[in-house]
Structures are given as structure tokens and as C-alpha cells.
Structure 1
Amino acid sequence: MPKFLFKRKYILYITLFFTAIFLMVLAKFNLTYFFISNQVWPEGPEPITSLSLNYVLDMMIGEVYVITFVTAIKVTLDFLEKQKRVTDLEKTQLETELLFLKAQVSPHFFFNTLNNIHSLALEKSDKTPRIIMRLSELMRYLLYETKSQRQSLSNEICCIQNYLDLEKIRHDDLLEVNMSISGDIQDKEIAPILLLTFVENAFKHGVNKNIGVIKIDVDFTVKEDFLYFTITNPLPVITKIENIFEHSSGIGLENVKKRLTLGYNQDDYKLTINNDNKFTVSLKIKVT
């Protein structure tokens, strides 16, 4: 019968429900009368030896109480199981999004960095050990330390610092990066690679599509339970301003928006993207 309830066939369910209860009462009456005692209803207002309307109604009401209680338990257990499935599905989806975002950290960035290491090694440059160490730390973070739904804010910032150091070595004097941190970043947590995606996007669309000296501003400000993150990069000179949002938001930022929706409550974050004169991403996000 429950399948009719779940299929929303309520009239059929109610009909079968009360029919089943009546048959149970009828069976109880006959079993008691023929096998136990002819006093079928000793607790009733008067002894009976045959099926009566009062007996049927009294027994059916009692059975309804019991079945309603059991049904409530069953519905509650089914609801909890459904909620668990939804939670597991969301967790799986978040993990899939994270794996995709890890792959989004541009492969060409790693190839270019390796080429730079090769060139520096041929020149026997003193920068070679430092760039290898930065690349190693960045890859270790991406591969092994981003499996949980939350990562410490300090680790995320350290990862971004390594990324910026590698980019500065790549672009040398053609890149100016101003990074500032204020507030207490200890004991704060954030979804991993969330901020790194914004940084990677700034280089992909702001640095690689411009010529001359490029300036990137990155700011981390922690106030109470929230992080105020801002990154600013120049608009691509090869892209028309009216189309900048379409080109600059890209797949990476769209995935960040999905991760924010899945991983945070609506009141826990606010994402603002502005493309007036410069491309600026501002994110207010809860980090407790």
C-alpha cells in the first residue's frame, strides 16, 4: 500500500487502508471467538458474541492509532534516508567540481614554468632552486591538500603566494604584483582553490592578453568572521570592453559560482564582478 501513497494515489490508498483494517478486525474477532474465548470484548461496555458496529469502530480506531504511529516512524526514516542521499550527492558534486577546478589551473602555466626552469638551469641561474621549490609546493597543495571541503585560509594564501612568485619569475620586470593581508587569518577556513581560481583568471585574461608592464593588485582583509578578497587586473587590450565580462568570467569563474552556491549558505558570501576601466573581482565570504 505505501507505494500508492508515494505515487499520490490518495483515494486508492485510503480505500485500501481502511479495507485492510476492517479485515484485520474481522480476523481478530473470529480468531478470538473460536480459539480463545467467546467473550470477544471483555473490556467493552457489554459482552458480545457477534460482530457489532461498536466493536468494529472501537477496534478500527485502535488499529488506526497504531498504524499511524508506525507510518510516522517509517516516513521519518524515509525522509532521513532521502536527506542523506541528497547530502551525499551534493558532496560528490562538490568533489567533482573541485577536481575540475584543479584541472582548470592552466596546464600551459605549468608547461611555461617548466620551460623557464629549463632555461634558468641552462644559464645556471640562482633562481632555479627557488622556482623549483615554489612549483613543488604549489603542486603538492593542489594534489594532496585540497581533498577536504574546507582548507585553512593561511594554506590557501600560501598557495596563491607560490603561484604569484612563479608568475613573477616568468614575466620578470613586466609584472608588478601588490599583495596585502590584514586581519587575523589564523584558524580560518575556506573552500580550497576558491581564491586561486580568481588569481589564475586574472593572469589568463589580464596579463597574458596585454603588453608592457602589467599591474595586479590582490588584497586579503579579515574582519570578524568574514574575508574580504579583492583582485584587480587590467582589461585585455585585444578584447572589446563591451564583451569583457563574457570573455573574462570564463569557465573558471562560472565554476566558482557553482561551488559557492553548493558549498555555502546564501548569506555566507557575496560575489561582485566589475569591469569599469579595470577588471575587479570582490568576494565577501564566511571563513569560520
Structure 2
Amino acid sequence: MSFSKLKWLENSSIKIPLKYHLLFWGSYFVFNVIRWGSYFDDYWYSLKSNLVEFPLHIIIVYFNIYYLIPKYILTRKFKRYILFLLFSLCILYCIRTGLNFLLVTKNIWPEAEGTQQAFTFNHIVAVVLGELYVVALVSAIKLTFDWIYEKRRAEDLQKIQLSTELDFLKSQIQPHFFFNTLNNLYALTLQKSDTAPNVVLKLSDIMQYVLYDVKEPVISLFDEINYIQNYLDLEKLRYGDKVNSKINIIGNIEDVKVPPLLFLPFIENCFKHGAQENESIQVRIKFEIINNKTLKFCVKNSFVHINDTTQKHGIGIKNVKRRLQLLFNNNFKLKTFVKKQHYFVKLKIPIQ
């Protein structure tokens, strides 16, 4: 995974800035003052009581979401969580009741009928339930933000993982291709063939394409076809008149984009399994645009079955299948089969 991708992921983290904390508590405070002021028809009393109670709300809420939940809920120590939360509520009840009695009103529970005493069962339940309401509300908001953040982070990680794997698969295809081409060039030099210089020039053009032009996630289909044609020209230099190839294009490919190096392994396969001494190599390639939505890629080549269990297996086709799964999920169709000494490839992908 590259440093730039890690840096981008770090910068994509969702944090709740301080101003949003202040905005929430400020709005909630004003709402509570108006609500209880309207209820008691005494806005001065509502303001004083909320000035006493809101700092306590804030303390127990942040104590819950930043200490109790991470330490006990996330570690599945539920009994300890409940115990510490109840203990915190008991302490808060004592402090809140005392401050209200000293600073606000001697009538400790004005919303109840008659004059009520502190530390009665009903008063304790009423205060605790009120605090639990605040704790539950803010915790739900915080957990929702955490869930959104974790969901986005998981999606970002998945994208980076897919991108990294795609880059790795693409990087594997390039050396695989050059290894095969250099083997061809080596064979020509052993034969002291006059076509060796032309192979070097063609290989140079292809190297420029692979090393500089395919760094983007998608490239022009026209450029990809031109790249395939250069590869075919290389094989013709190697095999001479034995190679009979044709590329057929149906539809307008001017604005079509495709993942780079997606089709080449299928073309390489034509020569890997279609080359046999004193026999021609027939290669027919077709690119067809269907309803401006789908690209159909077909290959037909002569096929020679080699019953050799010691034969090395290339990585090209395997990598292409994996790339197709990563790029298009299940939104593609790939079919390969042998029929009457010919090997067929039929691939459909959505147009990008």
C-alpha cells in the first residue's frame, strides 16, 4: 500500500469538531430553557435550574461515551458498565439535588404535586430517568457518527485494498509479457535473424506504452487495440508468414475506456497454445460495441493441445480473471472453450 494512499485514508477520517459539540449543547440548552420555562411559566427559574444541571449533563454524557462505553461495552463487560453507570448516576443525583437546593429553589421537585422531599424513591427515579434520557440521546448520536465513520473507513479500506491488488496484478502482467518477448528475441538472436532489430524497436514502443501510458485506471480502447496490434506485429516478426491475424472492430470506439492490459493475456494465449512447427497460427480478434453499454471481446485461434504435465503454467489468464472480478464484481461474462481445434474466448464488460 503506497504512502499517498495511506495519507489519503488518514485525511478521510470523520471527526466531530468542537464547534458542533458547542452547537449541540447550546441548542439543547436553549430548547430546555424554553420548554421548562413554558411549562412552569417561569423562565427565570428554568434558566437557573438549567445552568446548574447542564454542566452535570455534559460531564456524565462524556464520561459515558468516552470512558464507560470504550472500557466496558466494547470489551463486553456489561455488568461492570451497569454498575459504574448507576454509581455515577447516584453521585450526580446527590450533587444535582444539593446544588438545586442551595442555588435555585427549596422546592426540590416543582413539577410534582405539593412540596416534595429530596432522596425519596420517586424523586430519585425521576432524576435518574431524566439523566438516562440525556445520556441515551447523546450516546445514540455519538454511536451513529461512529457507525457512519467506521462504515466509510471500511469502504475506503476496501477500495484501497482492491486498488492495491489491481496494481499488483497489473504489475505481474507486465513482466510476464516482457519475459515472453525477450525469450522470443533471444531465439531470434540465436538464429541470427535479420528481424531481431525490428523486434527491439517494437519492444521499445510497447515498453513505452506499458511503463508510461497504462498508469491510469482506464485508457482509450483505441490505444489498447493499437498496443495489441504491436504485439501481433512482434509475433509476426518471430513466426513470419505462419501468423495470420485480423482485428475486426464493430461500432464506435472513439470514447470507450477500458482497464489497461486487460485483453493482452488472451492474445498471448493464442501463441502459447496455437504455435506448432510447420503449421499456421490463425488469430481472429473482434471488438464490438453493443448499444453503447457493453463491449464484447472475442478471440478465435488455432489450438494445439499439449499433453505435458510438466509444462509451466502462466499467470496471465489467471490474473485477468481476478482483475475482472475486482473491477466488475459479477457484472461481466467470460467464456472460454475449445471447438474443432480452435480456442474461443468471449468476454462482455460494461463500457466505461
Shorter-chain TM-score bucket reads 0.7 to 0.9
Which of 139, 150, 159 does residue 78 from structure 1 map onto? Answer: 150
| 1:140 to partner: Cα distance | 0.9
> Which range is displaced more, 179-188 or 39-48?
39-48
Letter in 2 for 1:78: E
Q: RMSD of aligned C-alpha atoms?
A: 3.0
> Which range is displaced more, 62-71 or 189-198?
62-71
Contact 1:205–1:248 under 8 Å retained in 2 = no
Match of 1:287 in 2: 351
Q: What is the aligned-residue identity percentage?
A: 25
Match of 2:318 in 1: 254
Runs of 4 or more consecutive aligned structure 1 residues displaced over 6 Å after TM superposition = 117-120
- Distance in 2, matches of 1:200 and 1:248, equals 15
Q: Give the gaps of 5 or more residues in structure 1.
A: none
- Distance in 2, matches of 1:81 and 1:188, equals 32
- Is structure 2 residue 172 aligned with structure 1 residue 100? yes
| 1:249 to partner: Cα distance | 8.3
Match of 2:298 in 1: 230
Contact 2:271–2:281 under 8 Å retained in 1 = no
Letter in 1 for 2:267: V
Q: Provide Cα deviations, 1:69-89, integer angstroms capped at 9, x if missing partner.
A: 111111221221122112111
Contact 1:210–1:238 under 8 Å retained in 2 = no
Letter in 2 for 1:261: Q
Q: Provide Cα deviations, 1:49-104, integer angstroms capped at 9, x if missing partner.
A: 32522221222122211211111111221221122112111111111111111122
Q: Given the two structures, how large is their TM-score scaled by the length of structure 2?
A: 0.68
- Distance in 2, matches of 1:45 and 1:103, equals 82
Letter in 2 for 1:234: S
Report 1:167-206 matches (<5 A): 167-206=235-274
Q: Provide Cα deviations, 1:143-164, integer angstroms capped at 9, x if missing partner.
A: 1222222222111111101001
Alignment partner of 1:105: what SS? helix
Count of paired positions: 273
Match of 2:124 in 1: 52
Contact 1:210–1:237 under 8 Å retained in 2 = no
- Is structure 2 residue 333 aligned with structure 1 residue 270? yes
- Distance in 2, matches of 1:149 and 1:91, equals 9
Contact 2:101–2:108 under 8 Å retained in 1 = no
Letter in 1 for 2:206: L
Contact 2:249–2:287 under 8 Å retained in 1 = yes
Which structure has more RCO (C-alpha within 8 Å, separation ≥ 6)? 1
- Distance in 1, matches of 2:235 and 2:280, equals 13
> Which range is displaced more, 82-91 or 48-57?
48-57
Letter in 2 for 1:60: L
| Larger gyration radius, structure 1 or structure 2 | 2
Letter in 1 for 2:159: T
TM-aligned CA distance change 1:173 to 1:3, over 3 Å? farther
